[in-house]
Structure 1
Amino acid sequence: MASSSSSDNSKLYSAFSLVAAIAAAAVAKKALNTSWRAATGKNPPANPADPDVSVGEAVLWAAVSGTLIGVARMFAARRTAQYYAKSTGHLPPQLKKDGQDADRAPVPES
């Protein structure tokens, strides 16, 4: 059975990870908005689903913003996990090995 300390650490990690992801997404969105204005001379689409926004602009905005915000959140999550591991000496329970190691992967049949 896990001790309450490890349960508390897990909850703390979850909360810290969520805050880091939200902050990273906000910073990425601000940088993206600024870059979009510099590149296009206009504000990014407030709602890409709006028919007044061209399909090309909507697709470009969705692709670029989704990618950059996703990458920022991923880096924040990795940094949070590194901090947790350095502080506790082990990965958070949410990141324990899940059998995805290449040497343990099933061999496809021919």
Structure 2
Amino acid sequence: MGDAVWKVMAIAAGLVGAKAAKKAIDSTWNAATGNGPPTNPADPDISWKEAVGFAIVSGAIAGVARTIAQKQAADFYIKSAGKPPKALQADSLKGEAKVK
């Protein structure tokens, strides 16, 4: 496997993570408020409290989903190729990321 394969896998993981995050954000917001998420938090009819709350919730969920998806893609790549892609090897040499 090479850099091109890793790039495709990273993009696919990002898309999967984004889709999972959207579902999680919608269901979490609905469970917490009883309403659907605001379609446009900048809308003047949306309160500051609701807009900021939505930003915090959606940002946290999106960050976690993205991290999970990227870690899963990296783990799959490493198991398939026997080594991390070059993009991750550079970080592990600096001590910024450890690879199993």
What's the TM-score bracket when you normalise by the shorter of the two chains? 0.7 to 0.9
Q: How many residues are treated as equivalent by the alignment? A: 95
Q: Name whichever structure is richer in helix by fraction.
A: 2
Q: Note the residue ranges of structure 2 that are not aligned, 5 or more in a row.
A: none
Mark the runs of 5 or more structure 1 residues left unpaired by the alignment. Answer: 1-5, 103-110
- Find the partner of 1:101 among 63, 78, 95: 95
User: What is the identity, as a one-letter code, of the residue corresponding to 2:52?
Assistant: V
Runs of 4+ in 1 over 4 A off after TM superposition: none
Which TM-score applies when normalising by structure 2?
0.84
**CA deviation vs aligned residue, 1:67-102 (integer Å, no higher than 9, x gap):** 111111111111111111111111111111435438
Aligned ranges for residues 11-26 of structure 1 at < 5 Å? 11-26=4-19
Q: Could you state the TM-score of these two structures normalised by the residue count of structure 1?
A: 0.77
Structure exhibiting the larger radius of gyration computed from Cα positions: 1
Q: Which residue of 2 aligns with 1:45?
A: 38
User: Any idea what SS the aligned residue of 2:67 has?
Assistant: helix
Report the RMSD for the aligned CA atoms in angstroms.
1.6
